Structure 1
Amino acid sequence: MPHRRVPAPNRSNARRMRRGMTDAERKLWRELRAHRLMGLGFRRQMPISGFIVDFACPEYRLIIELDGSQHGLPTATLRDRTRDARLDALGWQVLRFWNDDVLGDVDGVCRHIVAAIDESRRV
Structure 2
Amino acid sequence: MKRMHVDRARGLRRAMTDTELRLWRYLRNRHLMGSKFRRQHEIDRYIVDFVCVEAALIVELDGGQHAEMMAEDARRTRRLEALGYRVLRFWNNDALTNTETVLAVILEAVARAAPHPSPLPGGERE
Highest CA radius of gyration, 1 or 2? 2
Alpha-carbon distance in 2 for matches of 1:121, 1:39: 11
More off after superposition, 113-122 vs 48-57:
113-122
TM-score by length of 1: 0.90
- Which of 97, 100, 114 pairs up with 2:90? 97
- Which of 49, 58, 65 pairs up with 1:63? 58
Alpha-carbon distance in 2 for matches of 1:29, 1:15: 15
Structure 1: where are the runs of 5+ without partners?
A: none
Cα RMSD between the aligned structures? Answer: 1.3
Alpha-carbon distance in 2 for matches of 1:18, 1:71: 20
Query: How far apart are 1:87 and its partner, in Å?
Result: 0.5
Structure 1: which 4+ aligned runs deviate by more than 3 Å? none
| Counterpart AA for 1:60 | A
Alpha-carbon distance in 2 for matches of 1:65, 1:40: 17
- Which of 26, 29, 33 pairs up with 2:21? 26
> Is structure 2 residue 22 aligned with structure 1 residue 5?
no
Contact map agreement 2:56 2:113 (CA 8 A) in 1: no
Count of matched residue positions in the alignment of Structure 1 and Structure 2: 116
Residue equivalent to 1:109: 102
Residue equivalent to 1:72: 67
Structure 2: where are the runs of 5+ without partners?
A: 117-126
- Which of 48, 51, 61 pairs up with 1:53? 48
TM-score by length of 2: 0.88
